[in-house]
Amino acid sequence: MMGYMQEPDIRTFPHGIHAVDTRYVRAGLDASHLVVRNGRAAFVDCGANSSVPQLLAALDKLEIPRANVDYLFLTHVHLDHAGGAGALMQALPDATAVVHPKGAPHMADPAKLEAGTRAVYGDSVYDKL
């Protein structure tokens, strides 16, 4: 797994909710939310592959073992919300990914989503994301 270069940017809210800046495109644009209760955790969205080191660093900073993350809830399967799901799930051995049935085929085979994202952003921007 990629190492992280910067300290994760975490904003903490009441009731065990933490917004972790995914640094998608630029700092402050996009966040994943980590919900923690009784030592157990769940992520809501995860950003792109480049966001995964930030999320893992946030777990470390908040002293939450990776084995204590039970779920990754994906609100929808756009790159900035679910692009890093595969890499994050590899790092969270006990987690279950939850996605709407219409999004599940795209998570299993993201070729159409990649093509659509390349059409929107272009190849060079997509490759950076």
Burial of 56 (0-12, 13-18, 19+ CB in 10 A): buried
In a domain, 116, yes or no: yes
Residues of the chain with pLDDT > 70: what percent? 95
Q: Residue 119 falls within a domain, yes or no?
A: yes
Q: What is the mean pLDDT of residues 42-63?
A: 96
pLDDT of the residue at 113: 78
Supply the CATH number for residue 110's domain: 3.60.15.10
Question: What's the confidence (pLDDT) of residue 116?
Answer: 80
Range of the domain at 52: 10-128
Amino acid symbol at 64: I
User: According to DSSP H, which parts of 1-129 are helical?
Assistant: 52-61, 79-82, 85-91, 104-108, 111-121, 123-128
Q: Whole-model pTM?
A: 0.87
pLDDT at position 79: 84
Counted domains in the chain: 1
